[in-house]
Structure 1
Amino acid sequence: MVDVSIIIVSFNTKELTVECVRSVFRTVKKSSFEIIVVDNASEDNSVGELKRLKTKNLKLKIIENSGNFGFSKANNIGIKESQGRYVLFLNSDTLVYENTIDGMINFMDENSRAGASTCFVRLPDGKLDDASHRGFPTPWRAFSHFSGLARILRLKPFTGYNLSHLSLNKTHKIDALAGAFMLVRRVAGDDVGWWDEDYFWYGEDLDFCYRLKKNGWEIYFVPEFEILHYKGASGGHRNKKDST
């Protein structure tokens, strides 16, 4: 068993996926790991490029799906081939920074009730990807967020949608994080049955986190560590299901 299995779902993001994989190899120094790229029948020679990379990196595994199975099913396929104590779900349009994965694993080791955690997911403009720091949506939270009340009145009753009343400089519990960087304790994932394949793409991370919290697991935001997220670049065609 390795410390962490890193699962990356790929669909027509050849250059991004290769750079993401390379960033993992460059930055993980202390933890044992494997990388599992699950390709959803890309048409841009993603698999060919990954196979070339694999000749130099035996820790890389490639799973070739026969069609575009979406995010949830592809992740579940990767989980079945994984061996890690932890499973890190990582978007193909991300770059991992030095010590992020090692540091996040150390955090999880020190917090036994943490079922999942995320780091500071930074966008190219330097801001936090607020999808990685969320409260569970309710009608009131959605109204406060989309009406602008949360920006004007930065108080807890109005900021529940993105938990913007909480400091982004301190580690704290959150309701939900994003699948861009989602480190899950294997026993917690097993406890909730991993990803619900009724979700093809989008919304599945909220559902996953809801089930974790419902079963008593804690979810953390750990801003000490970071990744870069080219948000949206991994999903240009993700909503097109395979017709077969």
Structure 2
Amino acid sequence: MPKISACIVAYCDYEEVCAAVRSILQHTPAPDFALYVVDNGSPDGCGQRLAETDFGDARVIVLPLAQNLGFGKGHNAVIPRLDSAVHFILNPDILLTEDVLEPMADWLLARKGAATATPQLRYPDGRLQHLPRRKPTPWLLLARQLAPRFSGCFAKADDHYTMQDEDLSAPRRIEFCTGSFMAVRTDVFKEIGGFDPAYFMYVEDADLTQKVLQKGTVWLAPQFSAIHAWHRAPMRDAGKFKMQLVSMGRYFKKWGCGKGKV
């Protein structure tokens, strides 16, 4: 099996982070596995608590940061430490229920030209999450926000954006790999410099996917699965929604507004 590493970037919610860490350790037997937990300057003391927590496993490395650098910079903080073949980018609301990381890394490296992959994610109640997506366009992102409130063309466009009009039961190439759970070849992650530090939060995973696509292919691997709580509600938080708009503007300025190939 290839050597693997993973990183969780935490911001508050100590109990949730601990649950994610313990599930990953429980279902990842590799003795040389490294799990980095980066605390992004949590104001509630989460970082200090994590640093003082005995997980009973030397494979956990806690890195408390002095301030909140944002999602991408938090993940980039571990790049100089990585000596793995495949690195996993994981949200703190991910729970593993079986041995996924090593088999998924092995699958990724065995597929010629593949650089990144994401598994099938589900809500805690078992419902499917529609996270594989086509390359964003302004219209598709607008439809994504309006679809829950309106039907018709918005819902149809959102179904197209989240590839619900495609067969996702077998491995296939995608154009937008979610940052909630991403396996990336470590050499590629290092070569592209990780996440673009200009993004504080939102759309940085779409940007990273576009950078990865310049080096190889990106895949949905639905034969692997995990639980994802998915805490996200930008339309109900004015500050987060504004941040999302800023990130979207940065993304389209950098990559253009054209459609992808999937």
Tell me the TM-score normalized by structure 1. Answer: 0.84
Cα shift at 1:211 = 1.4
Q: 1:54–1:60: 8 Å Cα contact kept in structure 2?
A: no
Aligned: 1:135 with 2:134: yes
Aligned: 1:22 with 2:22: yes
Question: Which residue does 1:33 correspond to in 2?
Answer: 33
Measured in 2, the distance between the counterparts of 1:31 and 1:175 equals 33
Cα shift at 1:55 = 6.0
Equivalences for residues 46-195 of structure 1 within 5 A: 46-54=46-54, 56-130=56-130, 132-139=131-138, 141-142=140-141, 146=147, 148-149=152-153, 159-195=159-195
Could you list the runs of 5+ residues in structure 2 that have no partner in the other structure? 244-262
Give the 3-state SS of the residue equivalent to 1:225 in structure 2: strand
How many residues align? The count is 233
Question: What letter matches 2:4 in structure 1?
Answer: V
Question: What letter matches 1:175 in structure 2?
Answer: E
Cα shift at 1:63 = 0.9
Give the 3-state SS of the residue equivalent to 2:221 in structure 1: strand
Q: 1:18–1:49: 8 Å Cα contact kept in structure 2?
A: no
Question: What letter matches 1:39 in structure 2?
Answer: D
**Percent identity for Structure 1 against Structure 2:** 26
Give the 3-state SS of the residue equivalent to 1:58 in structure 2: coil
Tell me the TM-score normalized by structure 2. Answer: 0.79
Measured in 2, the distance between the counterparts of 1:83 and 1:187 equals 9
RCO greater where, 1 or 2, for CA within 8 Å and sep 6 or more?
1
- List structure 1 segments (4+ residues) > 6 angstroms apart after TM superposition: none
Q: 1:141–1:159: 8 Å Cα contact kept in structure 2?
A: no
Cα shift at 1:171 = 1.1
What do the CA deviations read for 1:44-94 (whole angstroms, capped 9, x no partner)? 342344234446211111111111111011111022222211110100111
Measured in 2, the distance between the counterparts of 1:72 and 1:228 equals 22
Deviates further, 68-77 or 101-110: 101-110
Could you list the runs of 5+ residues in structure 1 that have no partner in the other structure? none
Aligned: 1:43 with 2:43: yes
Measured in 2, the distance between the counterparts of 1:161 and 1:33 equals 35
Q: 1:23–1:95: 8 Å Cα contact kept in structure 2?
A: yes
Aligned alpha-carbon RMSD (Å) = 2.9
Question: Which residue does 1:221 correspond to in 2?
Answer: 220
Measured in 2, the distance between the counterparts of 1:149 and 1:119 equals 29
Measured in 2, the distance between the counterparts of 1:221 and 1:116 equals 9
Give the 3-state SS of the residue equivalent to 1:72 in structure 2: helix
Deviates further, 44-53 or 4-13: 44-53
